[in-house]
Structure formats: C-alpha cells, structure tokens
Structure 1
Amino acid sequence: MDVLSSRVLIHPKDPEVSTAFYRDTLGLAIDKEFPGGTVFFLGHGSLEIVGKGETGPSPDVALWLQVRDLPATLEELKAKGLTADRDARREPWGLDEAWISDPDGTRIVLVEVPEKHPLRTDPR
C-alpha cells in the first residue's frame, strides 16, 4: 500500500457546532471546505468534519494533538470557555498530557513533548 495522504473523519451530531469548535475554539486552520464538510490542518495530518453522525464517539478513539506549550494552550482554551476534562500531568512514558473533549465528547489528548524526551526533534 502506498499512502499519499491521510485524514481522520468525524461525523458529528451537529456539524455546525463541531466545525465552529475546531475552527474557533481550537483555532485550527482550514485546509478546504466543500458542501457538507470542512477539512482542518492537523500538523502532518488532517481532520475532516463531514456529514452528520448518530451514535456519537467511542471511548476507544481519541485525537492526539501535539502542542508546543501545553500550559499556554490550556490557558488560551480556558479564556475561550473550555474546561479541561483532565488537567496536564506527566505520564509514565514521559509526555505531558491534558484531555479535552469536542462537543460530541470525542476525547482530544493535548500533548507536549518535554525538552529531554527522545521524541523531541524541535529544540524550540
């Protein structure tokens, strides 16, 4: 298999509310819009809000979003009225993580890779 591109698709209960959340609350940049959907940039991937879902999210699925500064990101989101589901903490595997949810309850893991962690490739 030769994968050229990838994206995660979310079928929200209310597409307008979810699109506004990812665009306005999280501040994700829009890659493309089309009738019935919006695609957002997610670093090396994409997130597509499309159609309308009925069943809601699974607790077995989460979005993993690496951010440069987790405390600053949480403060920015708090200023926009978003409360974290779980505050930031260092995990046993060495990453700093906090959890938030989208309007349908999809878990979003916000991750900061600490300075000395082997995953860290950007020295900033």
Structure 2
Amino acid sequence: MVHVLSSRTLLRPTDPGRSRAFYGEQLGLAVSREFGTGEERGVVYFLGGGFLELSGRSRTPPMPPAPAVRLWLQVPDVAAAHDELRAKGVEIVRPPVKEPWGLVEMWIADPDGTPIVLVEVPADHPMRYRPGI
C-alpha cells in the first residue's frame, strides 16, 4: 500500500489571474501558500480536508472537462452559498436541488469550465451518522 502523506487537486488554468480571482475572491477560498512570482505564480487553497493548487498555465484552449471529473465541495448551507455566489457574479449552472440520494447540490463551473458541485449534507442524512457517537 502506498503511504500517502498529503494530497491535492492540481489545475493548470488557461488564464491564471482569472482563475485566482475566481477561486480566491469569488469563492473566497483561503490561501494555504503561494509560490513563484509573476502572473503564473502558484497558489494552494484550503479545501476543507484537502487542497486545490493552481499553478502554471495551460497553453491549450479549455477543452470540455471529462464528464466524470468534478470538484466536490461540501458547504454547511447551499442556499446561502447560492445567494452569496450569485451576488458575486458567479454563474449558477444549476440552482440547489435535493437529490434522490438526499444531498442538496448546486452546480457551478470555474472560468475554464471545470464543473464544481457545492453539496450540503442534511442533518438527517446517513453520511452524518457516526456509529457509537
């Protein structure tokens, strides 16, 4: 078994400044660290128990993301996130919907089209169940 010490999702944006504005200002993700200098400097954002790194630049135009790839971000209140993000000019791809599996999901996309699912886990959902607690 591989002993994993840390992990992160790595994105190479076509326009690093635009992507930093989206993730840092519009989504309001906290910065873990920055490295390098200039327009293509790297930024690592906190994502709950993980990290999102924007570094380098993709030299090719954004392709439609693979349908199986999504960023899944759990938030405490999807309706509040919807209102906040809409007020900041983030395009809402799909407003909050309670899914048949019990999660409340809202869909947005980053400037290169990477799908992002904001998820609320209701208090009565099995994901919140902790045996013996």
Normalising by the smaller structure, the TM-score range is over 0.9
Q: How many residues end up aligned between the 2 structures?
A: 122
**Percent of residue pairs bearing the same amino acid type:** 55
Deviation at 1:118, TM superposition (A): 1.2
1:55 shift after superposition: 5.0
Is 1:45 matched up with 2:50? yes
The TM-score with structure 1 as length reference comes to 0.93
Deviation at 1:59, TM superposition (A): 2.9
Which stretch has the larger CA shift, 100-109 or 57-66?
57-66
The higher radius of gyration belongs to 2
Matches within 5 A, 1:82-121: 82-120=90-128
Q: In structure 2, what is the equivalent of residue 24 of structure 1?
A: 25
What is the aligned-residue RMSD (CA, Å)?
1.4
In structure 1, runs of 5+ residues without a counterpart are none
Structure 1 distance, partners of 2:68, 2:12, is 16
* TM-score using structure 2 length: 0.87
Moved more, 47-56 or 62-71: 47-56
Is 1:77 the equivalent of 2:78? no
- Mark the runs of 5 or more structure 2 residues left unpaired by the alignment: none
